[in-house]
Amino acid sequence: MDSSRRAADELLEAARVLLLLQGALLVASTIEALFWGLVFPGATGSSVVLSGAAAVAILVARARLRADRLGTRRIVYIVEGVTLATLAIDSALAFALIGAYPPAVAFLTQFVLPLCVIALLRRAARATAPISTTNVATIEVTA
C-alpha cells in the first residue's frame, strides 16, 4: 500500500469509479433514446441530445477530476443536480398518472448514485482544504 497517497485521492478514486458507472448508464440510455427515436419518428430527439450531453460531461469530468479543479467539480454538481431534478419530475408524474413510484433500479441510479458522487466530491474537497492555523491547537512536546 502506498502511504504517500492522501485521503482525498482515495475519495476521488471512488468518485471516478461511480462516475464511470454513471457515464456508462447515460451512454446506454442515449443509445436507447436513439433507438426509440428511430422507431417512433414523432420524437423530437431532445432526449438523445440531453442524455448524450450528460454522458459526455460526466465522462470528461471523470477524466479531468482532481482535487484542485473546482470547475470540473462544478460540472459534476450541475449534471448530478439535473439528474436529481429529473428523478423528482419523473417520480411526481409517475405517482400522479399511475399511482406508483419508479422502479428501484431507477431510484438507485438517479438518486443514490448522484448523492454518493456529490458526497465523495465534497469530502475530497474538504480533505484538501488548507487547515487554518487559528483553529489548530498547539501541543508542546518536551524532550
Question: What is the residue extent of each domain of the chain?
Answer: 7-127
Residue 118 has pLDDT above 60, yes or no: yes
Which tens digits make up the pLDDT trace of 69-114?
888 888 889 989 988 998 899 899 989 999 888 888 888 888 999 9
pLDDT of res. 4: 57
- Mean pLDDT over 35-52 rounds to 79
Residue 7 has pLDDT above 80, yes or no: no
Scan for cell 426509440, then name that residue. 36
